[in-house]
Amino acid sequence: MKNKLINNIIFYGLGDFLVTAITAFLLLPVYISNLTTDEYGIFNIVNNNTIIFTYIFQFGIISAFSRLLFSYKDDNESYISSVILFHVISSVVIFTITYLFSDLIFGVLSPSIQKSKYVYIPVLIGFSTFIPNLYYALLRANQKARSFFLFQILTVGLLLGLVFYFIFFSRLSLQNLFISLLVTNLIMLLLISFFFYSKIKFRINYSYIKSTLKLSFPIFLGYIAYFFISRYSIIILQKHITLKELGTYTFAQQIAMVPTLLAAVIGKAVQPYLFSSANDDEFANRSSQADGIYKIFLFWSITGLIFFIEDIFMAILPQNYIASIPLVQSLLAVNLIFNLYFVESSILLYRLKSGLILFITITGSVVNVILCQLLVSKYKIDGAILAMFIAFTITLALQIFFSRKHILIDYKIKEIAFFVLVLGVFLFLFNGIKISSLNQFRQLFKILSFGVLTLILFMSLKKSKNYFYAEEN
């Protein structure tokens, strides 16, 4: 049983990581080498719209399906049929509304490409993701980790095959890149629909749909709130900067998503450890230990990335993306704040305060939207970054405030304060220095500071190791 659990974690984690890492990060050099900065800006606008339409088509149902599938285990086929048929009907409604109000919808979401031929691609991709993701949820529920992993490999393989076909035998233009993404998603939709066909009974149990929507609606609101707190800047900046500037900004934002990917990887390992606590006291102790290591490791890794990403990028980036380096560093620091409250969020989830988590996320998203409206018109990209910084900080403060009502985490204040000080000095005093003598001092500051931060990390790991050893005994 234990070996099966470990194998499942490996296969699910690796499958998710491959799809996310390859599509979001590892193909970046291919994109920026073959697309102009303007084209890369358009690509990310379309990608932004794809995310929102994916949320709309899925409506939180995938997460609700994963939870309720066990409740309807005696009538799985009827439940699966009901969900799929409801998706087909709701998709017709979404397609109709999108077509009838396309000028209004895309005028809000993507004014800079409102009349572009690419405007409906996000709708098609968003639609095509539902059935595959529903099938992946079914594979997870039935603990078919190897099948899940193979489908993820197939998805990545199809995309890479199409992308490199265009690179070697044609040209990876923006249009061909969208063709690669769309064809990959449609092939997976057709393939997985074949697996589902035998399970469909072509009738809807409305009680199943009602219970699913009751659970999925708050999840959907959470996804929408997350979109507006993390990606609204791409929408509003289109009205105030050029596509070239937007291409530079969205490239920086994509790199700055590293903290989110890193936090997700750590979180999948930490959360089961927290939730397996035998009692509240053990949960409190584990939360404090996990939080200290989580925050310090996140600070250490992102600080190192901020320090040395300039040295890496100067050697590999095309000239038209060099200007994005300061943006990458600033957005990395901002996104770091957003990912600091994983343990606090886990505490609220452990206490079944999912409604409170949703309230906090919505509050952060509303703050971000309001500040973007006030700041972006005057300060452009700087205004968007400042808006996210304030919104993320408020969200972190709310997470800490409400979680402390349940568990008093023993924060490593001195260590965290030192990390914040070092990052602040670098970002506000040394970043962007061109004077050679000061630049040499900045390099020395980075090396010495990162050495001290690494020492702090190792000392914290040693203390936590002693705690875990004592707990085992």
Amino acid letter, 155: T
315 compared with 209, residue with greater pLDDT: 209
Q: Is residue 264 part of a domain?
A: yes
Query: Is the same domain home to 304 and 432?
Result: yes
Contact in structure between 419 and 296 (CB atoms under 8 Å): yes
Q: Is residue 225 part of a domain?
A: no
209 compared with 195, residue with greater pLDDT: 209
Tokens representing 34 are: 């073959």
Contact in structure between 45 and 235 (CB atoms under 8 Å): no
Provide the pLDDT for residue 66. 74
64 compared with 382, residue with greater pLDDT: 382
Q: Which of 184, 218, 252 is the last residue of a domain?
A: 218
How far apart, in whole angstroms, are the C-alpha atoms of residue 298 and residue 341?
A: 11
Q: Which pLDDT band, with edges at 50, 70 and 90, does 2 fall under?
A: very low
Q: Is the pLDDT of residue 345 over 50?
A: yes
- Cα distances from 256 to residues 93, 222, 305, in angstroms, run 36, 21, 10
How far apart, in whole angstroms, are the C-alpha atoms of residue 267 and residue 342?
A: 7
Q: Is the pLDDT of residue 270 over 60?
A: yes
Provide the pLDDT for residue 331. 92
Q: Which of 218, 246, 269 is the last residue of a domain?
A: 218
423 compared with 375, residue with greater pLDDT: 375
Provide the pLDDT for residue 12. 46
- Cα distances from 80 to residues 135, 192, 210, 214, in angstroms, run 10, 14, 14, 17
Q: Is the pLDDT of residue 199 over 70?
A: no
Query: Is the same domain home to 147 and 203?
Result: yes
Query: Which parts of 101-205 fold into alpha helices (H)?
Result: 102-109, 121-128, 130-141, 145-169, 174-197
Q: Is the pLDDT of residue 57 over 70?
A: yes
How far apart, in whole angstroms, are the C-alpha atoms of residue 473 and residue 437?
A: 55
Residues with Cβ within 8 Å of 369's Cβ and at least 6 positions away in sequence, in order, are 228, 232
Q: Is residue 226 part of a domain?
A: no
Tokens representing 143 are: 């603990």
Query: Is the same domain home to 332 and 467?
Result: yes
Query: What is the DSSP code string of 409-422?
Result: ----HHHHHHHHHH
Q: Is the pLDDT of residue 339 over 80?
A: yes
150-175 average pLDDT score: 87
Provide the pLDDT for residue 32. 83
DSSP symbol at 426: I
Contact in structure between 82 and 205 (CB atoms under 8 Å): yes
Among left, alpha and beta (phi > 0; psi -120 to 50; other), residue 392 is alpha
- Cα distances from 324 to residues 329, 383, 392, in angstroms, run 9, 16, 22
Provide the pLDDT for residue 470. 52
When the pLDDT of each residue in the chain is averaged and rounded to a whole number, the result is 83
78 compared with 183, residue with greater pLDDT: 183
Structural domain boundaries, residue 315: 231-473
Query: Is the same domain home to 112 and 187?
Result: yes
Contact in structure between 391 and 227 (CB atoms under 8 Å): no
Least confident of 9-13, 123-127, 197-201: 9-13
The percentage of residues in the chain with a pLDDT greater than 70, rounded to a whole number, is 85
Contact in structure between 222 and 361 (CB atoms under 8 Å): yes
Query: Is the same domain home to 9 and 82?
Result: yes
Q: Is residue 385 part of a domain?
A: yes
pLDDT digits (tens, 9 = 90+) for 281-296: 888 888 887 787 888 8
Q: Is residue 224 part of a domain?
A: no
Least confident of 52-56, 319-323, 391-395: 319-323
Contact in structure between 328 and 313 (CB atoms under 8 Å): yes
Provide the pLDDT for residue 20. 62
The percentage of residues in the chain with a pLDDT greater than 90, rounded to a whole number, is 31
Helix (H, G, I), strand (E, B) or coil at 101: coil
Query: Is the same domain home to 392 and 302?
Result: yes
70-82 average pLDDT score: 76
Distance of CA 34 to the CA centre of its chain: 25
pLDDT digits (tens, 9 = 90+) for 30-45: 888 888 889 989 999 9
Alpha-carbon torsion, ordered 20, 26, 32, 34, to 10 deg: -100
95-110 average pLDDT score: 93
Tokens representing 451 are: 């050495």
5-13 average pLDDT score: 46
Contact in structure between 258 and 314 (CB atoms under 8 Å): no
Q: Is residue 223 part of a domain?
A: no
Query: Is the same domain home to 66 and 152?
Result: yes
Provide the pLDDT for residue 31. 84
Contact in structure between 79 and 69 (CB atoms under 8 Å): yes
Q: Is residue 175 part of a domain?
A: yes
Least confident of 26-30, 438-442, 468-472: 468-472
Q: Which of 157, 189, 218 is the last residue of a domain?
A: 218
Provide the pLDDT for residue 19. 60
Query: Is the same domain home to 145 and 203?
Result: yes
Q: Is the pLDDT of residue 221 over 80?
A: yes
Q: Which pLDDT band, with edges at 50, 70 and 90, does 238 fall under?
A: very high
84 compared with 137, residue with greater pLDDT: 84
Contact in structure between 181 and 159 (CB atoms under 8 Å): yes
Least confident of 14-18, 297-301, 395-399: 14-18
Query: Is the same domain home to 384 and 454?
Result: yes
How far apart, in whole angstroms, are the C-alpha atoms of residue 41 and residue 251?
A: 8
| Helix or strand holding residue 385 (H, E) | helix 354-403
Q: Which pLDDT band, with edges at 50, 70 and 90, does 269 fall under?
A: low
Length of the chain: 473
Burial class (CB in 10 A: 0-12, 13-18, 19+), 59: buried
CB atoms within 10 A of CB 69: 18
Query: Is the same domain home to 179 and 248?
Result: no
Amino acid letter, 293: I
Contact in structure between 79 and 208 (CB atoms under 8 Å): yes
The total domain count for the chain is 2
Query: Is the same domain home to 256 and 194?
Result: no
- Cα distances from 197 to residues 85, 136, 192, in angstroms, run 11, 15, 9
Least confident of 39-48, 219-228, 257-266, 366-375: 257-266
Provide the pLDDT for residue 463. 72
Q: Is the pLDDT of residue 272 over 70?
A: no
Query: Is the same domain home to 172 and 93?
Result: yes
